[in-house]
A = this chain, B = another copy of it.
């Protein structure tokens, strides 16, 4: 199979955006950006699939947890761009093994998180099939021109992460304790996204969905720069490998101009300076003196 990035790069090349299009940003960031005619807002769009056997194993998670997670992953992309969620569309292929009660509880998990975040369930599609697949599209809004993107980091900017990394990867291994809860119950960092957009004037941001090493490489590639980091803060019990390369933490990775005053805690969540953006071959990441391989999760080349 080709690497996920091979397919994505080909599509990015082919899916050209004509000049003057209301599509401000297409393939390659956490969200696409659409600028409605005459509006004070830019709209953000993201979509994420949850597939049985790939993203979860049947019977290891409750339906409401799965539904919640399906929405949380898309909301995390809205958070990464500093947006406020507006509405969601949910397409669900109901698997043959799911009872009506199971299906209702799956949607209840979605609806509960939607209500808590001001996201309206505005539509979707229902189908049926052998295995569950669910695709959640979320629309968010930011003041025109203010979306946080991956491509604004410059040499000298400081690199921060929220929270403690590696918890989701640890939880997937142990399937118990707080790390397993962390894996099943990601928190979209919507309030933090707004803080770093409005107050910290972040120069670039993205969410950590596939692991710090791969995601920071992507941010550096988009921004045309390199970076040097130290060990990121670890979730209790997580290994250095899990913190550096483990996916699904859904914390925010962001850069700020040097000298920006970043609080150590935001609403109880640690914000930690892990390094600095540098000149260098675009996309290279150093951990101290050593190059850090981008071992994070690629769907088509899973970690060995």
Which residues of A does B touch, CB under 8 Å?
1-2, 4, 6-8, 10-11, 14-15, 17-18, 21-23, 25-27, 31-32, 34, 36-41, 43, 45-49, 51-55, 86-87, 89, 91, 93-94, 100, 103-104, 107, 111, 114, 120-131, 133, 135, 137, 139, 141, 299-300
- In the assembled complex, the CB of A113 is this many whole angstroms from the nearest CB of chain B, namely 13
Copies of this protein, total:
2
Give which listed residue, B23, B25, B39, B128, contacts A299 with CB less than 8 A.
B128
Residues of B within 8 A of A91 (CB): 47-49, 135
Q: Are B123 and A45 in contact (CB under 8 A)?
A: yes
- In the assembled complex, the CB of A126 is this many whole angstroms from the nearest CB of chain B, namely 5
Please name the residue on chain B nearest to A120 by beta carbon.
B23
Residues of B within 8 A of A120 (CB): 15, 17-18, 21, 23, 26
Residues of B within 8 A of A22 (CB): 86
User: Can you spell out 7 A-B residue pairs with CB atoms less than 8 angstroms apart?
Assistant: A11-B121, A14-B111, A27-B121, A37-B39, A45-B123, A49-B133, A127-B133
A36 to B94, CA, bound (A): 32
A15 to B113, CA, bound (A): 12
A300 to B122, CA, bound (A): 21
- In the assembled complex, the CB of A93 is this many whole angstroms from the nearest CB of chain B, namely 5
Q: Are A111 and B15 in contact (CB under 8 A)?
A: yes
Given contacts A121-B15, A137-B89, contact A128 B1 (CB under 8 A): yes
Q: A27-B122, A129-B131 are in contact. List 4 more A-B contacts (CB 8 A).
A: A17-B120, A47-B91, A94-B300, A125-B135
Q: Are A127 and B86 in contact (CB under 8 A)?
A: no
Q: Are A47 and B135 in contact (CB under 8 A)?
A: yes
Given contacts A126-B8, A128-B54, contact A133 B93 (CB under 8 A): yes
Q: Are B86 and A34 in contact (CB under 8 A)?
A: yes
Q: Are B37 and A40 in contact (CB under 8 A)?
A: yes
Given contacts A39-B36, A45-B89, contact A133 B130 (CB under 8 A): no
Closest CB pairs A-B (n = 10)? A36-B36, A135-B135, A15-B121, A32-B122, A39-B39, A32-B123, A36-B39, A133-B133, A2-B100, A51-B129
Q: Which residue, A18, A36, A100, has most C-beta atoms of chain B within 10 A?
A: A36
- In the assembled complex, the CB of A286 is this many whole angstroms from the nearest CB of chain B, namely 29
A100 to B4, CA, bound (A): 11
Give which listed residue, B43, B53, B111, B121, contacts A130 with CB less than 8 A.
B53
